[in-house]
A and B are shown apart, each in its own frame.
Chain A
Amino acid sequence: MERDDLIEYSLHTHHSEEKGKEIRKKIIFVTILLTAVTILEVGLGAFIKQSNAIWPFVKWSFVILTLFKAGYIVMVFMHLGDERKWMRYVILLPYFIFVLYLIFIAIWEGLAVGQAWETYGF
């Protein structure tokens, strides 16, 4: 059955050998990048003790590097970067709204618990 009212979408757009080469190049670049970041993280974790004065800085750099890695995995490996702009928003916005709310609640409740300790003892 042929329907002429349908608009083609990515499912049937195959790419050529040359395009494939380009994509593979990008994949290998991201692989090296992710591996290098992981090695850097393990190095920092193994050599800088938590008692060290710069530990808070190291800790936050872990968080930033992790978000950096996550961005590459989602945008390149999961191809979200190649999807339509509004699809990206539909996936990412609800997630971030919920997560920011969850973090807010955890910190807020944490402060309340801390205050209760200070008031009533452990």
Chain B
Amino acid sequence: MAGHVAELDSKTLWGGKESPFSTSYGKLMMWFFLVSDALTFTGLLIAYGFTRHDVQDAWPIGEETFNSMPFLGHGYPLLYVALMTFILIVSSVTMVLAVEAGHRMDRKGVIKWMIATIIGGFFFLGSQAWEWSHFIHGSEFGKIELADGSQAIVKGHFGEINNFKVTIAGSEHKKGDVIKEDLLHTFHHAAVLGHIENGMIKLHDGSVAKINKQHDHDMVLIVKKAGKNHVLNARIEGKQAEKMYYESLYSGTANKVVYGADLKDNEYGPQQYGQFFFFITGFHGFHVFSGVIINIIILLGVVAGTYHKRGHYEMVEKTGLYWHFVDLVWVFVFTFFYLI
């Protein structure tokens, strides 16, 4: 008898007379795992909702925060996230087609559709990397603290910085030098430290330079934290907005402006917003990443003919379940994080 154990086929693994729900052990356990994982994500999203109502300052609005496209710039509300959602839905479709091909014992079909699924997964991961990078680096304007203590996000077109012209020499730059490299980064860095005053920038080597910057256009300040003079969600436009923005930015005081996001602070809204963004999309992205890796491992098994010899492609079906689950979670993240 012992010699036959290795030949036992998977349907005997339950050991009893019948298989519960006419399902294999592996598939049912995958479902139970997905239920527990779904509860984790539900917990995260409900905590997000609770925090959102708990916080007094204005919560960022999806179409204001996420309105950029690669190569195209600003002004495309939610389009990029929609594209990501579409990519993930399509890769879910190619996965279900792979499962269907498996039911027909069509090995070539399974290989074809699984490769498509893996490519879709990589596209999604790449999109998320871009999104994170964009979120972390932030806009050219940042979030500004106005003179009355209120905080506002800034929309509009940032006038390009042409150069810095050194007026007081430091340890590196001589008087009359014209600096043309890494301007925006230097500008942001100095603004956060409070090293810009009246159009003059103090550089890291102690030199002082005049900022040659083109004019901004269509500037709008949207108040996200009320102060003495401005209520929540007030919009300040035109010359008035520019005056108030530069009064603050060029005041020579540190921490008047926030660019981009980290776990401590972000330019979009309350601290918790950035934390939830990183945690929820990061946790989901980690699931996508594991899904892609698992798909690759199963694909290798398909190519090697392991499942064909076994007589069924249930392994493809099981990874398929995981992959669809990842898509399912994104549908909810998309709604609760970006749309509402």
A23 to B335, CA, bound (A): 29
Q: How far is the CA of A42 from the CA of B340 in the complex (A)?
A: 11
Flag whether A16 is at the interface (Cβ < 8 A).
yes
A67 CA / B106 CA spacing, docked (Å): 33
C-alpha spacing A49/B49, complex, angstroms: 19
| A20-B104, A42-B78 given; A62·B233 CB < 8 A | no
- Asked whether B100 lies within 8 Å of A90 as measured between CB atoms, the reply is no
Interface contact A78-B325, CB-CB below 8 Å: yes
Q: Contact: A1 with B24, CB < 8 Å?
A: no
Q: What A residues does B42 contact at CB under 8 A?
A: 98-99, 102
* B104–A17 CB distance below 8 A: yes
CA distance A95 to B35 in the complex (A): 6
Q: Give every chain B residue within 8 A of A119 (Cβ-Cβ).
A: none
Is A1 in contact with B312, judged by CB distance below 8 angstroms? Answer: no
Residue A54 at the chain B interface, CB threshold 8 Å: no
Contact A31 B90 (CB under 8 A): yes
Kindly state the separation between the CA atoms of A45 and B78 in the bound complex, as whole angstroms: 8
Give Cα distance in the complex from A9 to B62, angstroms: 47
Q: Is the CB of A39 closer than 8 A to any CB of chain B?
A: yes
A110 surroundings in chain B (CB, below 8 A): 50, 53-54
Please report the C-alpha to C-alpha distance between residue A6 and residue B9 in the assembled complex, in whole angstroms. 11
* Other-chain residue from A1, A3, A46, A103 in contact with B63 (beta carbon distance below 8 A): A46
- Assembled-state Cα–Cα distance A77/B331 (Å): 14
Residues in B whose Cβ lies below 8 Å from that of A41: 334-335, 339
In Å, the complex CA distance between A27 and B103 comes to 15
Residues of A within 8 A of B82 (CB): 38-39, 42
Confirm or deny: B136 has a beta carbon within 8 angstroms of a beta carbon on chain A: no
**Chain A residues touching B, range:** 35 or more
In the complex, the answer to whether B35 meets A99 with C-beta atoms within 8 Å is no
Cβ-defined partner of B77 (8 Å) among A46, A74, A94: A46
Nearest-CB distance from B104 to chain A (Å)?
5
Verify A3–B12 contact, CB threshold 8 A: yes
Name the A residues within 8 Å of B233 (CB-CB): 51
Q: Does B181 contact A (CB under 8 A)?
A: no
Which of A7, A70, A95, A109 contacts B39 (CB under 8 A)?
Answer: A95
Determine whether the beta carbon of B38 is less than 8 Å from that of A27: no
Query: Which residues of B lie under 8 Å from residue A63 when comparing CB positions?
Result: 335, 340
Report whether B46 and A77 are in contact in the complex, using a CB–CB cutoff of 8 Å. no
Supposing A34-B89, A70-B328 touch, asked if A9 and B11 sit within 8 A by C-beta, the answer is yes
Q: How far is the CA of A31 from the CA of B42 in the complex (A)?
A: 25
Q: What A residues does B148 contact at CB under 8 A?
A: none
Q: Is B39 within 8 A of A20, CB to CB?
A: no
In the complex, which residue of chain B has the Cβ closest to the Cβ of A15?
B103
Given A77-B324, A113-B54; A12-B18 close (CB under 8 Å): no
0 or 1 for each of A1-45: is its CB under 8 Å from B? (1 = yes): 101011111111011110010011001101100110011011011
List 21 A–B pairs whose Cβ atoms lie within 8 Å, in order of A's numbering: A7-B19, A9-B22, A11-B11, A23-B100, A24-B97, A27-B97, A28-B93, A35-B86, A35-B89, A38-B86, A39-B82, A42-B339, A46-B78, A73-B92, A77-B92, A77-B96, A78-B320, A78-B325, A78-B328, A84-B23, A102-B42
3 closest pairs, A vs B, by CB?
Answer: A87-B21, A9-B22, A42-B82
